[in-house]
Amino acid sequence: SETEKGTYDHYMLKEINDQPAAMRKIIQEYQDEAGNLKIDSSIIEQLNNSDRIYIIAAGTSYHAGLIGKEFFEKWAGVPTEVHVASEFVYNTPLLSEKPLFIFISQSGETADSRAVLVDIKKRGHKSLTVTNVPGSTLSREADETLILHAGPEIAVASTKAYTAQIAVLSILAQVAARELGRDTGIELMKELAKVTTAITAIIEDAPKIEAIVKDYLETSRNAFFIGRTLDYYVGLEGALKLKEISYIQAEGFAGGELKHGTIALIEEGTPVFALTTQEKVNLNIRGNAQEVAARGANVCTVSMEGLDQEGDAYVIPRVHSSLTALVSVVVYQFVSYYAALHRGNDVDKPRNLAKSVTVE
């Protein structure tokens, strides 16, 4: 059944491997009979009647929201803010006239997010929940719901829900843009199919990523993830994943911020993962990689086909520049999985963590 791990050693490994099927399922679920991407018109109206989107989430779902901002702003043309739920509720910013609140939550049960939903409903604002669990609290209590269709996620460390969240947000933004007559310049369905193929290729490459873990993380106590723009956000997720299950102290940060503090932590052998999938910042991030390498860092560069250079540790297949997170994150999911496995940790049930946190 969907909730068994079958031949896989761990749920997390199964769920990483589920991602191509989840992508295909999402494309299928959000399609009309004519084969066009489709979302309920009430949701599109809600979005296109708003003057600003406030994305509210926690943990990995927050990181998916950071990528979602790209789609809403670039394609649908709606200014978008992304907030950590537990901060927003006690530190609410000045809201726009017609805000739309989008709650991103795998479980639909996160208490911090619910606290925001209760508060904004009292103020009369509109809400949409993007969740993997139909009938969950956040789904029942919001005006509208979009389902992730990723299938049950059992491992505490979220993997397929993150990629499903990004895919669903991209579809939402694309359909909203289409209804507004905006040309996004992307054939999303085709590009998501390419993403699916690329994820499959990385899954087949898992042994190569296991070797990277041996080279870079076998004895380290800490690790850094650098990137710029979308790759920065994926670095935040890569660092979170590594912390959660390997217990290696990890930090993700923007490449340009290195020199403003974090570079002081670089020592001989410090592992630094540098991600580069965005052409406009490829040379900048490679410069940042050199800066840390010159101070002794053990730099593991993950690049995208077309932007790759000799010496890169891993090259992901080329996909649309707005969608690279869906593919690059899979490399980091495997990095975390093998790092935890080699340390003998309980991959699916890391210490101190719960799958869904129902207290504020």
| Active-site residue set | 355
19 binding ligand G6P? (CB under 6 A):
no
Q: How far apart are the first and last CA of the chain?
A: 33
Least distance (Å) from ligand G6P to the CB of residue 326? 17
Among 50, 61, 301, 324, binds ligand G6P (CB under 6 A): 61
Among 86, 127, 139, 158, binds ligand G6P (CB under 6 A): 158
Chain length of the chain: 360
What does the alpha-carbon distance between residue 319 and residue 198 come to, in Å, rounded to a whole number? Answer: 8
Compute how many residues bind ligand G6P; rule: CB under 6 A: 15
Least distance (Å) from ligand G6P to the CB of residue 156? 5
134 binding ligand G6P? (CB under 6 A):
no
Smaller CB separation from ligand G6P, 157 or 304: 157
Using CB positions, name the residue nearest to ligand G6P: 59
Burial class (CB within 10 angstroms; exposed 0-12, middle 13-18, buried 19+) of 24? middle
Structure tokens at 322: 């707005």
What does the alpha-carbon distance between residue 102 and residue 127 come to, in Å, rounded to a whole number? Answer: 6
Q: Please answer whether residues 197 and 291 qualify as being in contact, where contact means their C-beta atoms are separated by less than 8 angstroms.
A: no
Contacts of ligand G6P in 218-237 (CB under 6 A): none
Smaller CB separation from ligand G6P, 244 or 291: 244
Nearest to 104 by CA among 124, 129, 81, 80: 129
Among 17, 19, 50, 60, binds ligand G6P (CB under 6 A): 60
CA angle centred on 116, ends 60 and 79, rounded to 5°: 70
Cα-flanking dihedrals φ and ψ of residue 28, to 5°? Answer: -70, -45
107 binding ligand G6P? (CB under 6 A):
yes
Nearest to 17 by CA among 337, 339, 345, 340: 337
105 binding ligand G6P? (CB under 6 A):
yes
* Contact stretch for ligand G6P (CB under 6 A) within 54-62, 249-257, 291-299, 308-316: 54-62
127 binding ligand G6P? (CB under 6 A):
no
Q: Which residues bind ligand G6P (CB under 6 A)?
A: 58-61, 105-107, 110, 113, 156, 158, 353, 355-357
